Amino acid sequence: MAELNVTPLLDLAFVLLIIFIITTPLLESNIPMQLPTGSSRNSPPPDPKSLRTVSIDARGQVYLGDQPIGLPELERELSAFSRATPDAAVIVRADKSLRYQQVVDVVDTLQRAQISRMRLENVTP
């Protein structure tokens, strides 16, 4: 017999390929985690008069609009804004090099100011 029959080798290769295709997703998702989900409803964009922007630069300085502001002052300003504007919304823009805790501090400040509508944006240089 001068020829080598490669059919069994191909069958073995396909079986191994199918096994790897099936087991690879199971190996990647072995950490139990509940991921957040967004709503699929398309809400109308907020009125520009009811929208404020809070930015955090790479040094951790917080800005309301273009003015630097501390977290206690930010809370007072946004509390007054949320009382005056029932559909108040805030965009939080944060530099990507920030520590996570700095963004969480700003989000906590928004919650204390009764701002329930916010959007997080990542600022890339």
pLDDT attached to residue 72: 92
Distance from C-alpha of 57 to C-alpha of 18, rounded to nearest angstrom: 49
11-53, pLDDT tens digit by residue?
A: 999 999 998 888 776 655 455 545 455 554 555 666 777 889 8
pLDDT attached to residue 26: 62
**Pure H helices in the chain:** 7-28, 71-84, 100-112
Sign of torsion over alpha carbons 36, 41, 47, 50: negative
40-97, pLDDT tens digit by residue?
A: 455 566 677 788 989 888 888 999 988 899 999 999 999 999 999 888 889 898 887 8
Q: What are the sequence ranges of the domains in the chain?
A: 48-123
Q: What is the second-level CATH architecture of the domain 48-123?
A: 2-Layer Sandwich (3.30)
| Entry pTM | 0.61
Q: Which residues, at least 6 apart from 71, have a Cβ–Cβ distance to it below 8 Å?
A: 62, 105, 106, 109
pLDDT attached to residue 28: 54
Closest CA to 48 of 76, 88, 84, 80: 88
